[in-house]
């Protein structure tokens, strides 16, 4: 059976969580990304998206696709090259797979610990971890969030993992640790082109990235004009 970037392996409430049928938000309105689910929203050039870690313990996988051609997407590999760093910070511009700046990080109230290295979780990830049967995952949340606004994911890029704490040791070893953010911490990113942003409240409950209790929860966001 061939791989499809756009078709999910299962279903959850991501299909019913869209901000509107076409993804256009009401400005300044706070929207919820339900626990274990994903939501897509359109952000126009010059607008700012604010993503809030509502309870302080939740990782949010964040993607963005250029509205005029969704084959162009926010790329962590190109961003690391552009910044010469694995840690984007306030004032940095994060870029697409053709190196076009897509966002400028304008504010971050958290300690700034985010991840640009790890891929999003998927069905195979949970099978490897020992899960039997279907497990919600960020890959499917991306697919369903796009479907909910009438689009198909053209690919599964590596996400900007907001608040995900992945320490890197001197020998290159990595670890999955709880977030170091606090409730209501937020990051603001100004769109430098028209984009479709997608957020997944990561459903990982088999390691402690979503808190030592391994309990995924909601996040919130709003688009500021």
Share of the chain above pLDDT 90, in %: 97
Q: Is residue 4 included in any domain, yes or no?
A: no
Q: Is residue 1 included in any domain, yes or no?
A: no
Q: Is residue 115 included in any domain, yes or no?
A: yes
Contact residues for 211 (Cβ-Cβ < 8 A; gap 6+): 57, 58, 178, 179
Q: Is residue 14 included in any domain, yes or no?
A: no
For 133-167, what is each residue's pLDDT tens digit? 999 999 999 999 999 999 999 999 999 999 999 99
Quick one: pLDDT band at residue 4, thresholds 50, 70, 90? confident
Residue range of the domain that includes 122: 32-224
Give the model's pLDDT for residue 129: 95
In 3-state terms, the chain is what percent helix, strand and coil (to 5)? 15, 30, 55
Q: Is residue 83 included in any domain, yes or no?
A: yes
The arithmetic mean of pLDDT across residues 92-118, rounded, is: 98
Q: How many Å from the N-terminal Cα to the C-terminal Cα in the chain?
A: 44
Long-range contacts of 14-19 (CB under 8 A, 24+ apart): 14/38, 14/39, 14/140, 14/141, 14/144, 14/145, 14/148, 15/144, 15/147, 15/148, 16/148, 17/145, 17/148, 18/145, 18/148, 18/149
Domains in the chain: how many in total?
1
Supply 145's token pair. 């969030």
Supply 172's token pair. 């290159």
Q: Is residue 79 included in any domain, yes or no?
A: yes
The arithmetic mean of pLDDT across residues 101-119, rounded, is: 98
- The one-character DSSP state at 208 is G
Give the model's pLDDT for residue 1: 40
To the question of pTM greater than 0.95 for the whole model, the response is yes
Indicate left, alpha or beta for 19 from its phi (over 0: left) and psi (-120 to 50: alpha). Answer: alpha
For 160-196, what is each residue's pLDDT tens digit? 999 999 999 999 999 999 999 999 999 999 999 999 9
Quick one: pLDDT band at residue 3, thresholds 50, 70, 90? low
Q: Is residue 144 included in any domain, yes or no?
A: yes
Q: Is residue 8 included in any domain, yes or no?
A: no
| Burial class, 70, CB count within 10 angstroms (exposed 0-12 / middle 13-18 / buried 19+) | middle
């Amino acid at each position: 059976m061939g791989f499809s970037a756009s078709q999910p392996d299962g279903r959850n409430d991501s299909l019913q969580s869209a901000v509107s049928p076409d993804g256009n938000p009401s400005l300044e309105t706070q929207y919820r990304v339900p626990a274990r689910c994903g939501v897509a929203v359109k952000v126009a050039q010059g607008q700012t998206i604010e993503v809030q870690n509502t309870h302080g313990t939740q990782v949010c996988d964040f993607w963005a696709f250029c509205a005029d051609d969704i084959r162009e997407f926010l790329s962590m590999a190109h961003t690391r090259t552009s910044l010469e760093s694995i840690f984007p910070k306030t004032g940095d511009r994060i870029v697409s797979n053709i190196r076009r700046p897509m966002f400028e990080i304008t504010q971050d109230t958290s300690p700034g610990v985010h991840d640009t290295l790890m891929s999003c979780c998927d069905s195979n990830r949970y099978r490897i971890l020992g899960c039997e049967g279907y497990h919600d995952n960020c890959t499917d949340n991306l697919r369903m969030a796009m479907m909910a606004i009438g689009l198909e994911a053209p690919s599964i890029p590596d996400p900007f993992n907001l608040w995900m704490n992945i320490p890197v040791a001197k020998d290159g070893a990595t670890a999955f640790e709880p977030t170091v953010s606090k409730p209501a911490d937020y990051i603001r990113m100004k769109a430098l082109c028209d984009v479709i942003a997608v957020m997944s409240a990561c459903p990982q409950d088999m390691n402690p990235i979503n808190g030592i209790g391994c309990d995924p929860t909601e996040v919130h966001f709003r688009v500021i004009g």
